[in-house]
Chain A
């Protein structure tokens, strides 16, 4: 008999869900940021918001807020780790598959969480560029 899986998602998803990185707790106006991007809808069960600080076209800091499931929280947490320090163009290259791979895989019906994460960051970068 095979050992029962200890958890429904991968260890990395579990780690980022239970100990998320770079999240923004509470009032977002207290975090100085150059731009933000939001995707999703609470009615659908998932909403993500990315906040970026940019210097010389580089993301020097990133924070996020998420309403959603474990995969949604883990996806935004992983993405924040992946793009911190990257140039805006490089950060845009971090697509859903890279987020999913970084997390050690997501179930097929949860892949959209990584898509939403990518789209939230892309929206933040677009908003930043509009301002410039």
Chain B
């Protein structure tokens, strides 16, 4: 079997060795309950506060504005809980944990349209709502959203702003002060931390209401015994991003690989097209469609070659409808069903990209060859 090529970092990034070491040492430390006053409890409390400081530093927040959660979905659900019964507006390409929780809890959830690149025009943001939620970068396309501009506009109309920064964190600079947002979501496992822990940043003075009640943890803002190991892991991942200038690494090392992958796919794979924007895109996400070849089949043919990617096809997720993101940007179900997302990380190498280019054209052509869809030659 050939070497494994992992290009699904946007789904989850492998645990960083430094994170693993921090978590193992926390396991061995035999921490007590962080709420306890005795010394083993206090040690756990200290480890949690160190992690809080590390996350706060990474996003230029104050530590008391950081609330640890079980992940991005809980953070997003918490924002929906704060605005229960109110009017909100969210972009058409939000993660399902934003779309679903806002629709379920608010009085009205308006959908802000996006252009063909998946970008919100701040002029289209409603001015008659209580909250606007627009993600910092799309998890499927990588498209960067004009959140600072949206915030400026919203605050003039006394509208609060939330941004889901789950994909952006560690890849581009995320600064809550320059974004001006009131709420921000992030998750550990997208930056080399463990699965099952995330953060909701709540700007000091912004309205708040806990989603999980029945305990005084996190300043009575999130009940439940603190997930010390997870939080320590998240803190270590945030520290790693800060110490290693992860955004610079992504810009200088990962973006050229992602650009190379796009250029060579367009050159070597017939009837391929790019769904991600050329400008204003995360450095590590590339979404492509392959006419007449279905996404799950491409994904599993790649898997058979030990290459891991993801797809916006409905078939893969056991869903009825294909990616709502590609439907919002293209309106074309076939493009959505035929899409593949490549997402790169700091461990991605030129050899990984070369390996994809070695096998992808042949397997896509094979699927196109047995496809019922006839490809008309396009002249442009």
Query: In the complex, which residues of chain B have a beta carbon less than 8 angstroms from the beta carbon of A45?
Result: 294, 313-315, 322, 333, 337
With contact pairs A18-B304, A43-B333 given, residues A48 and B294 touching in the complex (Cβ less than 8 Å): no
Interface size on B, residues (CB 8 A): 24
Nearest CB of chain A from residue B340's CB, rounded to whole Å: 13
Nearest CB of chain A from residue B321's CB, rounded to whole Å: 9
**Binary interface encoding of chain B residues 365-380 relative to chain A, with 1 for a CB under 8 A from any of its CBs, else 0:** 0100111110000000
B304 and A47 form a contact (CB under 8 A): no
Query: In the complex, which residues of chain A have a beta carbon less than 8 angstroms from the beta carbon of B318?
Result: 107, 109
Nearest CB of chain A from residue B148's CB, rounded to whole Å: 38
Query: In the complex, which residues of chain A have a beta carbon less than 8 angstroms from the beta carbon of B227?
Result: none
- A8, A67, A71, A73: the one contacting B373 at CB < 8 Å is A67
Cβ < 8 Å to B, chain A residues 6-43: 7-8, 14, 17-18, 20, 23-26, 38, 40, 42-43
Query: In the complex, which residues of chain A have a beta carbon less than 8 angstroms from the beta carbon of B293?
Result: 67
With contact pairs A43-B334, A73-B297 given, residues A67 and B322 touching in the complex (Cβ less than 8 Å): no
Residue of A nearest to B319 (CB): A109
- B137: interface (CB < 8 Å): no
A69 and B373 form a contact (CB under 8 A): no
- B328: interface (CB < 8 Å): no
- A46: interface (CB < 8 Å): yes
Distance A14 CA – B300 CA, assembled complex (angstroms): 9
- A7, A14, A49: the one contacting B372 at CB < 8 Å is A49
- A118: interface (CB < 8 Å): no
- B66: interface (CB < 8 Å): no
Residue of B nearest to A70 (CB): B300
B372 and A67 form a contact (CB under 8 A): yes
A65 and B297 form a contact (CB under 8 A): no
Distance A125 CA – B316 CA, assembled complex (angstroms): 31
Residue of B nearest to A20 (CB): B370
Cβ < 8 Å to B, chain A residues 80-119: 107, 109-110
Interface size class of A (residues with CB under 8 A): 20 to 34
- B297, B301, B316, B337: the one contacting A42 at CB < 8 Å is B337
- B314, B315, B372: the one contacting A47 at CB < 8 Å is B372
Nearest CB of chain B from residue A23's CB, rounded to whole Å: 5
Nearest CB of chain A from residue B68's CB, rounded to whole Å: 29
Residue of A nearest to B316 (CB): A69
Query: In the complex, which residues of chain B have a beta carbon less than 8 angstroms from the beta carbon of A72?
Result: 294, 315
Distance A38 CA – B371 CA, assembled complex (angstroms): 12
Query: In the complex, which residues of chain A have a beta carbon less than 8 angstroms from the beta carbon of B296?
Result: 69-70
B370 and A69 form a contact (CB under 8 A): no
**Binary interface encoding of chain B residues 252-270 relative to chain A, with 1 for a CB under 8 A from any of its CBs, else 0:** 0000000000000000000
Query: In the complex, which residues of chain A have a beta carbon less than 8 angstroms from the beta carbon of B373?
Result: 42, 47, 67
B370 and A24 form a contact (CB under 8 A): yes
Distance A77 CA – B21 CA, assembled complex (angstroms): 49
Query: In the complex, which residues of chain A have a beta carbon less than 8 angstroms from the beta carbon of B314?
Result: 44-45
- B184: interface (CB < 8 Å): no
- B292: interface (CB < 8 Å): yes
With contact pairs A18-B304, A42-B334 given, residues A69 and B315 touching in the complex (Cβ less than 8 Å): yes
A26 and B371 form a contact (CB under 8 A): no
Cβ < 8 Å to A, chain B residues 301-354: 301, 303-304, 313-316, 318, 322, 333-334, 337
Distance A18 CA – B305 CA, assembled complex (angstroms): 11
Query: In the complex, which residues of chain B have a beta carbon less than 8 angstroms from the beta carbon of A110?
Result: 315
- A75: interface (CB < 8 Å): no
Residue of B nearest to A40 (CB): B372
Residue of A nearest to B313 (CB): A45
Cβ < 8 Å to B, chain A residues 51-69: 64-69
- B334, B366, B370: the one contacting A65 at CB < 8 Å is B370
Query: In the complex, which residues of chain A have a beta carbon less than 8 angstroms from the beta carbon of B370?
Result: 20, 23-25, 64-66, 73
Interface residues of A (CB under 8 A from B): 7-8, 14, 17-18, 20, 23-26, 38, 40, 42-49, 64-73, 107, 109-110
Instruction: Return 16 A-B CB contacts under 8 Å, by A number.
Output: A14-B304, A17-B297, A18-B301, A23-B370, A44-B314, A45-B294, A45-B315, A45-B337, A46-B294, A47-B372, A47-B373, A65-B370, A66-B371, A67-B292, A67-B371, A68-B294
- List the 7 shortest-distance A-B pairs measured between CB atoms, nearest first: A69-B315, A69-B296, A43-B333, A47-B372, A67-B371, A109-B318, A25-B369
Interface residues of B (CB under 8 A from A): 292-294, 296-297, 300-301, 303-304, 313-316, 318, 322, 333-334, 337, 366, 369-373
